[in-house]
Chains A and B, each alone.
Chain A
Amino acid sequence: MMRSGLRKFLLTAHVVCSVGWLGAVVAFLGLAVVGLTSPDSRLVRGTYLVMEPTARLVLVPLAFASLLTGIVQSLGTAWGLFRHYWVVFKLVIAVFATIVLLTYMGTFRAMAGVAADPAADLDVVRNASPLLHAALALLVLLVATVLAVYKPAGPTPYGWRSQQERREAVQQ
């Protein structure tokens, strides 16, 4: 088990990274709406051009930082990584969202390529895909946040066995 000071430091780091990730996704949702609705062609092209570097420099590092700090945090506390269902679900959500994000980086590059082409029509530059992905990412990350706050009860079979072993060890 971690010392209290280190545990609180890691918890703070995990909360900052996770909330930062959520906030960055909300910002992307705003960018996606601007890209779809703005009548200003320079603004629309700029929106799709800025998505790729912003995702590379903000979304991807925050996703990995959230995943890494979450794993370290869980391993250093009584919650464990596979002892409680809510922790397992949070892990699955973070891994899945990070994989989808990394897969989607190619789309950001392709959309930036189209936006950079002055010959491309504005209707071709506009794309609803970032809106859909940002909305789904927001939903998934909100579910992870709710799980982290409410911590619904339910030990996994492994968690229950280790709990029993600890109880027996105390009794002996």
Chain B
Amino acid sequence: MADANLHDDPEVAGRVEADREAMPRTPRWVKVFGIIAIVVVLLFIILMLTRGPGGHGPGRHFGSGSSNSEQLRAGIAHAYGSAVGVCG
């Protein structure tokens, strides 16, 4: 009943109609995804520019045979060995 009374008021009815017609706000997930996408694309562009034309090359992220690569390889080999040990 209260609603019916409210909608009888032309001002309230107009405002309700305006709200319905108003463009919905951008959802939060879109804002979060948008920020992540912009950061990733900017990172990619910066990497491309700083690494020079030709962009991605071998060892751009980890030098071949470098300590980083060695450490990562050792870590993966250890994890792989543990997994095989668990499964076997």
Interface residues of A, Cβ cutoff 8 Å to B: 33, 36-37, 85, 89, 92, 96, 100, 103-104, 106-107, 110-111, 114, 121, 123-129, 131-132, 152-155, 157, 160, 164
Contact = CB atoms under 8 A, between A and B. Distances in A.
Interface of B: 21, 23-24, 26-27, 29-30, 33, 37, 40-41, 44, 48, 54-62, 64-65, 68-70, 72-73, 76-77, 80
A43 to B, nearest CB: 14
B27 A153 contact: yes
B48 to A, nearest CB: 8
A37 B40 CA distance: 29
Contact of B69 (A85, A114, A126): A126
Given A36-B73, A36-B76, A123-B64, A107 B27 contact: no
Contact of A154 (B21, B27, B41): B27
Contacts of B48: 103
Contact of B29 (A37, A131, A152): A152
A118 B70 CA distance: 21
